[in-house]
Amino acid sequence: MSLATAARLVSLVTLIVAAATCGCASAQGSSGGTCGPFGNPPVKVLGAVTPACGGGRILGPWKDGDGTDRYACLYEFATLKPGRKLPLLVYLHPSLFGPWTITHTNLLDLRATSSLGLGPAGSGYIVLAPQGRNAATIDHFIAETAGTGKVDTRRIYVTGWSNGAAMGLLYALNRPNVAAVAVYSGPDPFGALIDPCPQKPVAGAPANKSEVRIYNPHVAVMNVHNSCDIAGICPNAEKLVAELRAAGGAVEDVIVDSSGKRVEACVDACGTDPDGGLAFVHHPWDWMVGLHHHGQWPEEWTAPMLEFLRAHPLEPPAAPF
């Protein structure tokens, strides 16, 4: 394992712990331990960060509701025939990292040779990678990109990694303009780890604060996660899948082993708690093995993820942006 890889893996532990502890502190500190209709109060943004987009183009700044500058990276083709529209893939990055993490996947490598639309293989797709995973920010930059006339708005898809996967699921389940979502190794956005305000997603009006309504419950979902993952993400993801199916959702649940092969169940030695777990003493194996798995994008599953998205356009088309 290289030093850079080891550093990324250590940082991934930090992001999971930070996400859990910050959420707990926010709920207890900002609302006196009282859970609201949308679970935990949001944590405060520490400051604006301008992303490194590499071969992409920076969009922004755009100020969110708190006045914080927000940015995104856009990866499009240098030449595009007039009137031609391409699918849009929105990539949401892990916590503590930025859109540059897309370069540790093969999503950019495949965009010129894979099709997310009706055309033949190689017709391509546009990639949008917002910085910060804020819902209003994602809305804004999708609208800005779609406003160029280059986007097939029947084929706006979402993907993400780690906490970006959790945000991707949460976003897609609440935005009717999203056709489908395919994510990797994300905790349950409605309740994971030491979340003091877990909620059950429901398709109708919530009965109380322990439930939260999702407004796009029938969006096609592909949830790829490891049989052994950090912090008990596998059984936590299985809880999410069961809840989404109970709410009427169509979920393709994909559990993969250390070789990338699809398996039927989680590895019990890596945790069995459906809420996940952070204690190293109780879950040493998932901290050592699962952390390594969590820090690697499953490149062999990218093409199946893209094919899943391609097979699920909006029917009928949603209202234009």
Paired residues of 184 in beta bridges? 161, 224
Q: Is residue 298 included in any domain, yes or no? A: yes
Q: Is residue 208 included in any domain, yes or no? A: no
Q: Is residue 320 included in any domain, yes or no? A: no
Q: Is residue 36 included in any domain, yes or no? A: no
Q: Is residue 45 included in any domain, yes or no? A: no
Q: Is residue 259 included in any domain, yes or no? A: yes
Q: pTM of the prediction?
A: 0.88
Say how many domains are in the chain.
1
Length of the chain in terms of residues written: 321
Rounded distance, CA 159 to CA 168, Å?
6
* Residues sharing a CB contact under 8 Å with residue 183, sequence separation 6 or more, in sequence order: 158, 159, 160, 161, 164, 165, 166, 168, 169, 222, 223, 224
Instruction: Say if CB 132 and CB 65 are below 8 A apart.
Output: no
Q: Is residue 256 included in any domain, yes or no? A: yes
Q: Is residue 319 included in any domain, yes or no? A: no
Q: What is the CATH number of the domain that holds 21?
A: 3.40.50.1820
- For each of the chain's 321 residues, which pLDDT tens digit applies? 333 444 444 444 444 444 443 333 333 333 445 888 888 777 776 666 889 898 899 999 999 988 999 999 999 987 777 778 899 999 999 988 899 999 999 999 998 888 787 666 557 899 999 998 789 999 999 999 999 999 999 999 999 999 999 999 999 999 999 999 999 999 999 999 888 999 999 999 999 999 999 999 999 999 999 999 998 999 999 999 999 999 999 999 999 999 999 999 999 988 899 999 766 656 666 678 888 899 999 999 999 999 999 999 998 776 666
Q: Which domain holds residue 262?
A: 3-28+52-196+216-310
